[in-house]
Structure 1
Amino acid sequence: MADDYYQILEVPRTASAEDIKKSFRKQARKHHPDVNPGNKAAEERFKQLNSAFEVLSDPQKRKLYDEFGEDAAKLGFDEKKAEAYRAYRSGGRGGGRSGGGIPFSSAGGGGADFDLGDLFGDIFGRSGSGDFDINDVLRRQAGPRSPGRGEDITARVSLSLAEAITGAERTLAVQRPGRCQRCNGKGEAGNTGPCPTCKGSGRLRRSAGMPFSGACPTCNGTGRAAEPCSECGGDGVIEENTRLTVKVPPGVQTGSRVRLSGQGAAGTRGGPPGDLYLETEVAEHPLVRREGDDLYLDLPVTVSEAVLGAEVKVPTFQGEVTVKVPPSSQSGRKMRLKGRGAPSLKGGAPGDLYLTLQVKVPDDATPEVKAAAEALARAYPRDVRQELKL
């Protein structure tokens, strides 16, 4: 996060979403590991581009990044944590680091670091002892611990055009919040004790400009609460690195988003998991051009095939087919193979494959070829360029 994401993608801070996407595609193709095998610098650059695009292509993440800079990542791009940060800044407390909490530098002015333990210490009747965690504080602000749905996560997948047309399978290394095995995702240890929020009193007081009064929301006024799991700190989730084998459906394009239900971050305190979204990047093909679900291919034919007509074999992504070239076909003539284009992601009819005939003359002009060409020239009834006028 030390490098500015806009500088990494080489776009101004006012760049549109489309400009950001175009710049990412251009640079990603240039620095892709497949294009630069063994080049560690290109590989690192590609990782930086992906990190920058992941933030700036998401409107909510980009908004928080523009507001907080690299601190947005420390806040986990979480709007609730951002709101607590804003409340702190608007309260006029600009400095005074204490204890061992997480330091954040003020991105919106002031320039001073502060300690979140000091920030929330007054609210819950503690001093800046350094044992505060913003996640713990926000859990207490939210009230009784209840299950929460896990966050959605995004992974990018690079594909060839053939893979995009026919579908593909990928094994991805994914870092995500996973279910805590010690508490089975519940976030609670087996025993209870004094409520850590109200210290057993069952009530909270109003302080530090953030109103709290009446029954403690954590223990519902009982003064006792289940102790948080020592492994996950009460969230029910811990960071994990896992490998997932995913299937990319046929028909994707660059920018397509494929949803894999339940493969995102684990839910907090036993809640349902989020989803995993695959964002696809499809490489250009040297011979085939794609427009929507339709494909375009230049088909070379010989002079005799164009004049006399012929049956020729044509490769498609679904397998080889035989097509009939009509007699007296001109170079540039278009032929359509219905349904041989890309599948429709929306479940509609597949696209078509359009062939453009390209008449090829022999490379070597042997005496026989020259005699045949002279005979062919006599077959033209008029000048083929007589209508060519500017």
Structure 2
Amino acid sequence: MSDDPYSVLGVAKDSSDAEIKKAYRKIAKECHPDLKPGDAEAEAKFKAAAAAYDLLKDPETRKRYDNGEIDASGQERPQQQYYRDYAEAAGNPYRGHSTEQDDMSDIFAEFMRGRGGYGQRTQEFHAPGHNLNYSLQISFLDAVFGASQKLTLPDGNRIEVKIPAGITTGQTIRLRGKGAPGYGEGPTGDALVTISVADHPVFDRQGDDIHITLPISIDEAVLGGKVPAPTIDGGVNVSVPAGTSSGKTLRLRGKGVKKRGASERGDQLIELTVTMPDKVDDELKQFMETWRETHSYDPRKGMPS
């Protein structure tokens, strides 16, 4: 499977945001693990599509990928120019050279000689290491409940990233001392991990609340009753009032995301939508024709014609 996010989603590089979103949702509906449990191939395809969509849905991230600033996983390309730029900003007399010296001690030795004059004793130099920036995509539920994930660094080493519950896309986790090493006795820099949260095919987060759309049948809408509904904690049964129309919203208190700095959680909002059967048979058609003769009503009363 290609790593290129456009290829993963099966879209052209100049596709619109709407086309990219449509392609992702198609794959999600076909391959989500909740819909195809145990299908490793479908799960792998879904995960790849989720990662690709997460990278391309943000215009800034998409632009940076197209410009080659980040790779398909969203991680920064190696910052090869850092030490040269640092020396240039400090007044290095050798700025403008396009080649990097392998031995960093030589660079700073030249820097100090340039400031102190030829033949003077080189001063000892200490500088903190620079921060390293990374991107990490996590699942919707890991963002809600918190988790621990491994982040692979460019050198192949892996570091553990503890995800706090309730984190959102764009927030950054600082891993102190996990950046570039300092020069001399300078401290090591930090790793800054920017989080992106993958979309979920069922749940939609709005602040601390979770929203879902729940289809109900005609008889459930007319007669009411208990119907099963998913939550981030697992399945529950909810009470649908008799005579329910599409758009009615049920609230499950405390079934949302944990609020920051508090013990309580948000709510889950369930928007009901009345769904017709796949096929309207003769019996249902005849019943509705008879019913309409004696019970007709105008649901659009009061609207302009």
Distance 1:291 1:33, change over 3 A: closer
Distance 1:365 1:241, change over 3 A: closer
CA RMSD, Structure 1 to Structure 2 (Å): 4.3
The residue that corresponds to 2:188 in the other structure is 273
TM-score of the two chains, using structure 1 as the length reference: 0.51
The residue that corresponds to 1:50 in the other structure is 70
User: Secondary structure in 2 aligned to 1:104?
Assistant: coil
CA contact 2:228–2:238 (8 Å) conserved in 1:
yes
CA contact 2:76–2:133 (8 Å) conserved in 1:
no
- CA offset digits 1:245-281 (Å, max 9, x no partner): 3232232222111222333334444554332221112
- CA offset digits 1:332-390 (Å, max 9, x no partner): 11122223233345557433322111011222222332244345535746322232324
The residue that corresponds to 1:135 in the other structure is 108
| Residue pairs, 1:1-390, within 5 angstroms | 34-35=48-49, 48-50=68-70, 73-76=80-83, 79-85=86-92, 103-104=97-98, 133-138=106-111, 143-145=123-125, 148-175=127-154, 241-345=156-260, 347=262, 349-374=264-289, 376-377=291-292, 380=295, 382-390=297-305
Structure with bigger helix share is: 2
The residue that corresponds to 1:185 in the other structure is none
- CA offset digits 1:269-318 (Å, max 9, x no partner): 45543322211122333333333333321110111211222111111222
Q: Which has the larger Rg?
A: 1
Distance 1:358 1:379, change over 3 A: farther
Distance 1:155 1:345, change over 3 A: farther
Distance 1:157 1:321, change over 3 A: same
User: Secondary structure in 1 aligned to 2:221?
Assistant: helix
1-structure distance, mates of 2:219, 2:104: 85
2-structure distance, mates of 1:77, 1:318: 52
CA contact 2:131–2:190 (8 Å) conserved in 1:
yes
Distance 1:280 1:315, change over 3 A: same
Unaligned runs of 5+ in 2: 1-16, 25-45, 52-64, 116-121
1-structure distance, mates of 2:289, 2:148: 55
CA contact 2:125–2:183 (8 Å) conserved in 1:
no
Unaligned runs of 5+ in 1: 1-22, 38-44, 57-69, 95-102, 106-114, 117-129, 176-239
User: Secondary structure in 1 aligned to 2:70?
Assistant: helix
TM-score of the two chains, using structure 2 as the length reference: 0.63
